[in-house]
Amino acid sequence: MRQRSAGSAFPPAARFAITLALAATAIVLAPNAGFAANGDLASRLNSGAIEVGVAGSVVSTAGSTHGLVTLRSGMFFRGGPGLTGGEIALSYDHVNALDILDAEGAISWQPRLEGTTAFPFISLHGGIREEWIGSFSQWNVPVGASVGVRMLFGPHAGIRTEYSFRRLLRDPVANYNEHRALIGLSLFFRNRVR
């Protein structure tokens, strides 16, 4: 059994994930003149693009912190002065003896920014969650919102960082809040100017 050092509030895996999230955020916020010079449309997020990605997360739920993996896919459409997105995601988490599987859908909005390959977004999401220990299982309903940034490294790849807030409904004890800090890699298909 490993012991945590007295000076650390997070286990090693959580510290590693936080470090990755901070590094990715620094990369996203740094100037990226190489791709965006002269309005390079090849490095923009375009209507009709399909995003497929994997993300890791640090999750804080009711004082407990643990890791999570998420697989997701979505598509972007014209939406006012930006792009609207639709997305589905599957997430898996294992905490002590508890297994957690989320299936969620989300709608998002990304403003069009000129001269950058960073695309901030906001989203609303909801879905179902199954939690099980051995043969005992229960279903919850996660609903919430996210805010984040996609950073494209050309028309077909990028990183995505986001903060997500969820309210877990239908818990047999009490409804509770969940906070996630995600960082992931995305591939983009059909991302071309139309």
What are the domain boundaries of the chain? 12-189
Cα–Cα distance between 78 and 130 in angstroms, integer?
34
Q: What is the pLDDT of residue 188?
A: 94
32 has a pLDDT exceeding 80: no
* pLDDT tens digits, 82-124: 899 999 999 998 887 888 999 999 999 999 777 788 899 999 9
To which H or E segment does residue 15 belong? helix 12-29
The DSSP code for 42 is G
User: In this predicted structure, which of 38-52, 67-81, 171-185 has the lowest mean pLDDT?
Assistant: 38-52
**pLDDT over 80 (residue 189):** yes
Q: Residues with Cβ < 8 Å from 125, sequence gap 6 or more?
A: 87, 89, 104, 105, 106, 107, 142, 143, 144, 145, 146, 164, 166
pLDDT confidence band for 9 (50 / 70 / 90):
low
User: Does 34 have pLDDT greater than 70?
Assistant: no
Better pLDDT: 148 or 39: 148
To the nearest whole percent, how much of the chain has pLDDT over 90?
46
Across 169-174, average pLDDT: 84
As a 3-state breakdown, the chain gives helix, strand, coil percent values, each rounded to 5, of: 15, 60, 25
What average pLDDT does this structure show over 111-139? Answer: 90
pLDDT attached to residue 96? 78
Side-chain-side CA neighbours of residue 167 (13 Å): 8
Task: Give the whole-angstrom CA distance, residue 54 versus residue 69.
Answer: 7
Kindly list the distances between the CA atom of residue 173 and the CA atoms of 67, 131, 161, 162, 170, in Å, as whole numbers in the listed order. Answer: 23, 14, 32, 29, 9
The pTM (predicted TM-score) of the whole model is 0.74
* Count of beta carbons in the 10 Å neighbourhood of residue 172: 6
12-189 CATH: 2.40.160.20
Residue 152, by phi and psi: left (phi above 0), alpha (psi -120 to 50) or beta?
Answer: beta
